[in-house]
Structure 1
Amino acid sequence: MSLLLLAIAPVTIIILYIYFKDKYEKEPIGILTKSFLLGATVSIILTFILGYIASIFIPITDIKNVFQQFLKAFIVVALVEEFSKYVIVKFYAQKNKEFNEPFDGIVYSVMVSMGFAALENILYTFQHGAATGLTRAFTAVPAHATFAILMGYFMGKAKFSKHKVKLNLLGLLLATLFHGAYDFFLFINFIPGMWIGAIISLILGIVLSRKAIRKHQNSSIFKV
């Protein structure tokens, strides 16, 4: 039970943080819950299928090959995972009538991502123990949240723009780039000090995420 609480605690904190940042017109709990569950089920299944296909076309034959690890980080992992979350936001949340202001893009993207991160975190924590769960609480889970906020920022803009396709894909691209950079520096840990690159990319993502949140808050159509 303690491992389960450790795994879901950071996810819960991030969900509550984003929920209360949605100051002016909160989303229905039912739709948020469904978005979370879709992230924990459909996104995970899509990731497994697409990741398996990607690994066939991009096999990793040498774990110390930097280029192979680059392809793994940005395509096999980052693009596959972010696309698997993107489709839920695009085809479920973005089409919902409750998605009625740009900030909602951030809210729903984070809910889907936290569903994904919750199941992933539970599996890692139960497999590797409390130390891994504690480390991921301050690294991998916040990283998933920042990728989601960056994606959601542009998907929120896309809903109310004439350039829907461009902005939606820009959100997917940005999330993939930050996710890929974060993983890449961790994957090449056989080079001393490279893990610092992951921390830097995470910090930069957090800074940009906070700006994205403030920008959509300030432009809310429900702000009095």
Structure 2
Amino acid sequence: MTTLDPQAILAGRTPGRPSIKLMVGMVVTSLCALTALVLFALLGGGANFFVCVGLAVLPVPIMVAAVLLLDRLEPEPTRDLVFAFLWGAGVAVLGALVLNTLGLKYVTEPVFGDQGRFWTTVAGAPVVEEALKGAVLFVLLWFRRNEIDGVTDGFVYAAMVALGFAMMENVSYYLQALDGGGTQRLEAVFVLRGVVAPFCHPLFTAMTGLGVAYAANRRTGRVTALVLGLLAAMLLHALWNAGTLMGAGGLAVVYALNFVLLVVLLTLVFLERRTLVRQIGHYLPGYLHTGLVTPQDIVMLGRIPLRREARRWARSIGGKGAARAMSDYQLAATELVLLHRRMDNGVIDVPFFARRRGELLRLMVVARQALAISRIPAGPAAPPPWGPSGFAPPPG
């Protein structure tokens, strides 16, 4: 009997070790990030560098946790998220450092003279940086299209690459602040970039993420969506950079615009979650005859608190292994719903649908079997708290 690799099935990849392409990508992006840090260290030197790195890292765990909180129904593969973050912190930052410097020296300064730095900040940098950040989203669209199921996934991947980029960029900004105005200047820059507006870079790149999400889930208008998404990211970034140069009033206006757009984007994410819950109730009843789900299980799968309660119940009857099996079951069922949606949208063919559905159903079967044999000997197991379910252990 072949041993299942649940994580590979859920991630839609070939079981076994990570692909060579992913491993090479991880190495390259990490080396780029280290190179950028070395350059910043040479720029700042001494203790200032470590202080600035600490301040740049400080908001990142909070922001990453907030982003992942939006993606609880169908979490993205960890290795893909890490790759996106490292791309932002490595390839995008190092590429932007080189291209922005060259653009300033050979384009904007020769053309605009004393205004060259202004035009690099307002026009050059947004184009370069959003193109470099967006590039990894295009890579994911090409190689991992089936992992991008909608607005939420596009936003999550965009936010991860942007958070990596912002973290490294902030090291540079904080070093420049210390060099140009001491600790008071550093405090002001940290409050702006690390406290007041840490969501700006994720918001800019989220526009590209929306275009990528549309292209991954529709058959027409893909190129238009990608171009418009990237242009919107560049425009928002340019407006923000211009606002920072126009005093408190200009910055306040641009900040308000960004905040409104963030609320709109989060609203789209929550509406998409509600749609997914409805689709769970639409597609999964077709599998009632298989015994893999009951009506009560469908209710549980559509509510995050009940999913969490189900994992706690599984742990109570069978420990960590049972909790892992319950998690695999929940994610496989959700992936099955998303697979049906992609089939209805016409973005996958019948052979792929059949193969992928078979993998997910097999994982659901194995997860149920794991729950059936995982028992804590001490005392009878409690029934599932969400009602009659195929997960309930047999009496006695």
TM-score (normalizing by structure 1):
0.84
Q: Could you give the per-residue CA deviations for residues 61-82 of structure 1, whole angstroms, max 9, x where no partner exists?
A: 224x8xx73x333421111111
- The yes-or-no answer on 1:134 pairing with 2:210 is no
1:7, 1:122 within 8 Å by CA — same for their partners in 2?
yes
Matching residue within 201, 205, 212 for 1:148: 205
Correspondence 1:197 to 2:250: yes
Q: In structure 1, what residue type is equivalent to 2:210?
A: Y
Distance 1:83 1:137 in 2: 23
Match of 1:175 in 2: 233
CA contact (8 A) 1:150 1:212 kept: no
User: How many angstroms does 1:93 deviate by?
Assistant: 5.5
Aligned mates of 2:153, 2:142 — CA distance in 1: 9
Distance 1:148 1:11, change over 3 A: farther
Q: C-alpha separation between the residues in 2 aligned to 1:99 and 1:58?
A: 38
Q: State how far apart, in whole Å, the 1-side matches of 2:232 and 2:98 are.
A: 23
- Partners of 2:63 and 2:256 in 1: CA distance: 16
What is the CA–CA distance in structure 2 between the aligned matches of 1:62 and 1:166, rounded to whole Å? 37
Secondary structure (helix, strand or coil) at the match of 1:27 reads coil
Once the 2 structures are TM-superposed, how far is the Cα of residue 32 of structure 1 from its aligned partner? Answer: 0.8
For the pair 1:109 / 2:158, whether they are aligned, the reply is yes
1:33 aligns with 2:90: no
| Structure 1 Cα separation of the partners of residues 98 and 51 of structure 2 | 31
The equivalences for 1:1-224 within 5 A come to 3-55=52-104, 56-59=106-109, 60-63=112-115, 69=118, 71-92=119-140, 95-96=143-144, 97-127=146-176, 128=178, 129=183, 130-131=186-187, 132-139=189-196, 141-161=198-218, 162-187=220-245, 189=246, 194-220=247-273, 222-223=276-277, 224=302
- Structural RMSD (CA): 2.4
Report if the CA contact (8 A) 2:151-2:268 is conserved. no
Query: Does 1 or 2 have the higher relative contact order (CA < 8 Å, sep 6+)?
Result: 1
Q: Does the 8 Å contact 2:100/2:120 carry over to 1? A: no
Of 71-80 and 161-170, more deviation after overlay is shown by 71-80
Q: 1:30 to 1:90 in 2, by over 3 A?
A: same
CA drift of 1:2 comes to: 5.7
Structure 2: gaps of 5 or more residues: 1-49, 278-301, 303-396
- 1:50–1:136 distance in 2 versus 1, CA, 3 Å: same
Q: What TM-score, normalized to structure 2?
A: 0.50
Instruction: Could you tell me which runs of 5 or more consecutive residues in structure 1 were left unpaired when the two chains were aligned.
Output: none
| Alpha-carbon offset, residue 163 of structure 1 | 1.3
d(CA) in 2 for partners of 1:150 and 1:205? Answer: 12
Shift of 1:217: 3.3
Aligned residue pairs, count? 215
Taking only the aligned residue pairs, the percentage that are identical comes to: 25
Contact kept, 8 Å, 1:182 with 1:199, in 2: the verdict is no
Q: State whether residues 70 and 269 of structure 2, in contact with CA within 8 Å, keep that contact through their aligned partners in structure 1.
A: no
Preserved CA contact (<8 Å) 2:92 2:129: yes
Distance 1:24 1:100 in 2: 12
Once the two structures are TM-superposed, the CA of residue 30 in structure 1 deviates from its matched residue by 1.7
- 2:295 is aligned to none
Give the secondary structure class of the aligned counterpart of 1:168: helix
SS in 1 for 2:143: coil
Task: Quote how far apart the aligned CAs of 1:104 are.
Answer: 0.7
Take 2:174 and 2:63, find their aligned partners in 1: how far apart are those partners? 18
